[in-house]
Amino acid sequence: MDVFRIEGPVRLAGSVNVKGSKNASLPIMACTILACGESSLGAVPNLSDISVFGQLLQNLGCHVKRNAQGQVCINSTVIDNPIGEYEIVRQMRASICILGPLLARCGRAKVSMPGGCAIGDRPVDLHLRGLQELGAKIHLENGYIVAEAPHGLIGKDIFMGGPFGSTVLGTANVMMAATLAKGRTIIESAACEPEIADLANCLNKMGAKIRGIGSPRLVIEGVSQLQPIQYEVIPDRIEAGTFMVAAAISSGELHLKNCRIEDIMAVVDKLRRIGVTVESKGEGCIVARTGTIKPADITTQPYPGFPTDLQAQFMALLSLAQGNSVIVEKVFPDRFMHVAELNRMAANLRKEGPAVIVAGVKKLIAAQVMASDLRASAALVLAGLAAEGTTTVNRVYHIDRGYERIEERLNPLGAKIRRESV
C-alpha cells in the first residue's frame, strides 16, 4: 500500500493542466452501451476508477482499450452478459449507472446493489423509482437489483427529487434509459451538474433528443436507436477546485489551464470572499493569495451551489482562517471523516450534527493521517502542503481514484511529496 510523505510548509507557483472530469467520464462510458459499435472518448483521465469501470464494461461483453492518443475506445457491439458483478460494484458505486443503459439496450439487467461507503448510506431508491416509472419491473435477488423491460421502456413524466435534492447518477441512469424509451419522458428536479449536461450533450451527438440540458427539467423524446460517438469530456471542476485550494493554502499563485470557471462559480465566489484572487485567463484562470484567509460560512448543495466534493478541501483551507467558519453539509450529512484527521494536524474543528465549526488556527502541524475517501484524502494532502513538518498520508489509493498522479503534478510547482510503498 502506498503512502505520501509531504514536507511542509511550501509555496506553490506555476502552471498546471486540469485533466478531464472523472465524474463526467464514468456515465459517458456507460452511455456507449446504448449504441452498437465503437465509440472513442477523449480527455478521459487515467485513474483507477476509470480502469475499474472499463473492467465492468468488459465483463458485459464490450471491448475497452486506451489507444496511443490516450482516447478510451469502447466497442459495444456485443453485450451478452448484462450483469454488474458485486466484486466490481463494491469497489466503485458509480457502477450503478450501467443499470439504465443496460435495461434500455438489452431489456434486462442485473446489477449488484451498492452498499454504503465512507461518505454515508447512499441509497439508490430514486434510480429504481425512476426506472420503474418508465415501466421496468424491478426486484432484489441475493443482493442484486434485477430489472426487466422485455417489451421496452415507455416515456413518462417523472419527479426525481429526494430528501437531499436531486440525484446526479440517478438522473444519468433515467435519462440514458429514456433516450430509447417509446415516447416522451420529462424528468423534473433533474440534477443540473455540468457532468449531467456533458452526458446529455454526448447522448444528443449519438442521436438522442434531449432538451432543457443544464436545467432541472429535462425533456427526452425517445428514439429507436443511437449511434456510436467520438466525444471529448469536460475538464474536471473538482480537480480544478482542489488546485485552487492548493494555491490558496500555500500562499501561492497557480495558473490553471483547461479550467471552466463558469462550472465552479460558487467556489470562485467563496475564494474571492476569503481573500483569494481568481482571474480568468484564456481557457483557464490564475489563482493567488497574498494576505490572510478570512473565515466563511459554507453550505454544500446540489449544483449550482457549493459542491460537496470540495467541502473537505475547504475545511483544510478555512482551518487557517483568521476567525471562525461554519461548514454545513446538505448533500451527504455524514461526510466528515476528515474532521478527526485534520484535528490530528492541529486544526480546531468541532462537529455539530451535519455541520462543522472551524475555529481558525495559526498553523497546522504535520502528523500521520488516514485517508478515508477520495476528497477527504485530497484535503489531507492540501493540509500537508501548509503544515510544519512531514505529514504522512496513509491509504493513498483513495486519492489515486480521482486525481491522476497528483504528486507528479504538484511537485514541479514546489510541493515536496514522496510516494512510498509500505
Instruction: Compute the least distance from the CB of residue 8 to ligand EPZ, in Å.
Output: 24
Measured in degrees and rounded to the nearest 5, phi and psi for residue 76 equal -110, 30
**Torsional sign, CA 373, 374, 378, 379:** negative
Cβ density class 105-121: b for 16+ within 10 Å, e for less? bbbbbbbbbbeeebbee
Cα–Cα nearest to 30, from 111, 116, 143: 111
Pick the catalytic residue: 117, 192, 202, 259? 117
C-alpha cell at 317: 483551507
Nearer to ligand EPZ, 3 or 52 (CB): 52
Q: By three-state DSSP, how is residue 232 classified? A: strand
* Cβ proximity to ligand EPZ, 26 vs 147, nearer residue: 26
DSSP code per residue over 88-131: HHTT-GGGGGGHHHHHHHHSEEEEEPP--BTTB----HHHHHHH
Q: Which of 1, 67, 150, 163 binds ligand EPZ (CB under 6 A)?
A: 163
Interface with ligand EPZ, residue 374, by CB under 6 A: yes
Using CB under 6 A, which residues numbered 43 to 102 contact ligand EPZ?
94
| Residue 241: alpha-carbon gap to chain centroid | 12
Is the Cβ of residue 244 or residue 321 nearer to ligand EPZ in the bound state?
Answer: 244
Least distance between ligand EPZ and beta carbon 14 (Å): 26
Residue 397 DSSP SS3:
helix
Task: Using the rule CB under 6 A, give the single segment among 157-165, 197-205, 249-257, 364-372 that binds ligand EPZ.
Answer: 157-165
Site residues for ligand EPZ, window 287-346 (CB under 6 A)? 308-309, 331-332
Q: Does 26 bind ligand EPZ (CB under 6 A)?
A: yes
Nearer to ligand EPZ, 75 or 332 (CB): 332
State the nearest-atom distance from the C-beta of 50 to ligand EPZ, in Å.
11
- Residue with smaller CB distance to ligand EPZ, 163 or 353: 163
User: Are 126 and 167 spatial neighbours (Cβ–Cβ below 8 Å)?
Assistant: yes
Give the residue from 369, 326, 329, 325 showing the smallest Cα distance to 346: 369
28 binds ligand EPZ (CB under 6 A): no
Give min distance, CB of 11 to ligand EPZ, in A.
27
Nearest to 175 by CA among 111, 91, 97: 97
Closest approach, Cβ 393 to ligand EPZ, in A, equals 16
CB contact at 8 A, 40 and 72:
yes
The residue from 23, 39, 242, 311 that contacts ligand EPZ (CB under 6 A) is 23
- Report the residue from 32, 76, 95, 167 that binds ligand EPZ according to the rule CB under 6 A: 167
Q: Which of 9, 107, 123, 212 binds ligand EPZ (CB under 6 A)?
A: 123
Give 101 or 252: the residue with its C-beta nearer to ligand EPZ: 101
- Concerning whether 117 is annotated as a catalytic residue, the answer is yes
Q: CA 98: distance to chain centroid?
A: 16
Can you tell me which of 45, 84, 100, 170 binds ligand EPZ, judged by CB under 6 A? Answer: 170
Instruction: Select the residue interacting with ligand EPZ from 15, 77, 116, 125 (CB under 6 A).
Output: 125
Measured CA to CA, the distance from residue 1 to residue 394 in angstroms comes to 8
Distance set, CA 273 to CA 10, 83, 250 (Å): 23, 48, 17
Per-residue cell: 32: 456507449
Question: Does residue 147 interact with ligand EPZ by CB under 6 A?
Answer: no
Minimum CB separation of residue 403 from ligand EPZ in Å reads 10
> Distance of alpha carbon 85 from its chain centroid, rounded?
22
Structural contact between residues 300 and 264, judged by C-beta atoms closer than 8 angstroms: no
32 near 202, Cβ under 8 Å? Answer: no
Total residues binding ligand EPZ (CB under 6 A): 25
Binder of ligand EPZ out of 61, 162, 207, 414 (CB under 6 A): 162
Judged by beta carbon, residue 74 or residue 366, the one nearer ligand EPZ is: 74
Is the Cβ of residue 281 or residue 405 nearer to ligand EPZ in the bound state? 405
Rounded distance, CA 46 to CA 236, Å? 13
8 A C-beta contact, residue 236 and residue 201: no
402 binds ligand EPZ (CB under 6 A): yes
Indicate the residue among 82 and 402 with the shorter CB distance to ligand EPZ: 402
- Selected from 156, 237, 338, 375, the binder of ligand EPZ by CB under 6 A is 375
Residues that bind ligand EPZ (CB under 6 A): 23, 26, 94, 120, 122-127, 162-164, 167-170, 195, 308-309, 331-332, 374-375, 402
Catalytic positions are 117
